[in-house]
Amino acid sequence: MDTNVVSWFEIPVRNMDRAVKFYETVFGFRLNRQLLGALEMAWFPWVDNATGSSGSLVCHEQHYTPSENGTLVYFNSPSGNLSTELERVEAAGGKILQPRTQISEEHGYMALLTDTEGNRIALYSR
């Protein structure tokens, strides 16, 4: 196998404006909003030829429902220290479920939170 297992992810939202504001505030980058018929998307930035994958916030009343119980997406910390992003979560309308926690010396740190839409997501740093 010469590719990563995951090629794309989509995070369901009910209120795109609110969700975009949350992710842009916490991560400090801009999302690229797209309207594809009834499907509204806000793409996360990506780097060509980088490891990992990218994805999108997606809003469609019939096909996407935010959830704390679904797939868990781990976001790399853009700052390299997830404490930086965690400091922004509650002010942006999210909730920290598990604070910065060491996975192991070898694997770094993680934290769990919910976004403004009720999705559970994770942050990761070395």
| Blockwise average pLDDT, block size 10, the chain, 126 residues | 73 96 96 93 88 88 89 92 95 97 94 96 93
| HSE value, Cβ hemisphere, 13 Å, CA-based, for 80 | 0
Tokens of 81: 């220290």
Q: Alpha helices of the chain — where are they, by DSSP H?
A: 16-27, 82-89
| HSE value, Cβ hemisphere, 13 Å, CA-based, for 98 | 12
- Which pTM value belongs to this model? 0.88
Nearest to 61 by CA among 45, 38, 81, 84: 38
Which pLDDT score is estimated for 2?
56
Q: What are the chain's domains? A: 8-125 (3.10.180.10)
